[in-house]
């Protein structure tokens, strides 16, 4: 957690199995040793590939080959052009 600071925690090498509830606990130095904690659920998704996006939209590679302009319009309509 090299880059963690100021209330932000950076995690490396995560995948879908990393999903879960995490608890962060911070303790003060002496003399108070006051401790504060909070927990939150973290959901890690796999990165969407063009194939996954087409499948999600109910389209196939053949649809793209048959009518590329319609597919591009469809992708723009769902605002996912930058993912493909």
| Residue scoring higher pLDDT (17 or 75) | 17
- At residue 83 the predicted structure's pLDDT band, cuts being 50, 70 and 90, is low
pTM of the prediction? 0.45
Q: How many Å apart are CA 7 and CA 19, to the nearest integer?
A: 20
pLDDT (0 to 100) of residue 61: 81
> Phi, psi (5° rounding) for residue 40?
-155, 150
What is the Cβ-side half-sphere exposure of residue 28, based on CA atoms within 13 angstroms?
7
Cα four-point dihedral sign 18, 23, 24, 29? negative
Contact call for residues 24 and 9 (beta carbons, < 8 A): yes
For the segment 14-41, what is each residue's pLDDT rounded down to a tens digit?
887 888 999 988 899 999 999 999 999 9
């Amino acid at each position: 957690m090299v880059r963690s600071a100021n209330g932000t925690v950076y995690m490396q090498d995560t995948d879908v199995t990393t999903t879960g509830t995490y608890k962060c606990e911070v303790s003060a130095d002496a003399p108070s040793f006051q401790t504060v904690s909070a927990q939150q659920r973290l959901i890690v998704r796999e990165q969407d590939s063009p194939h996954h996006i087409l499948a999600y939209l109910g389209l196939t590679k053949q649809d793209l080959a048959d009518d590329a302009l319609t597919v591009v319009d469809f992708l723009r309509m769902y605002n996912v052009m930058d993912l493909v």
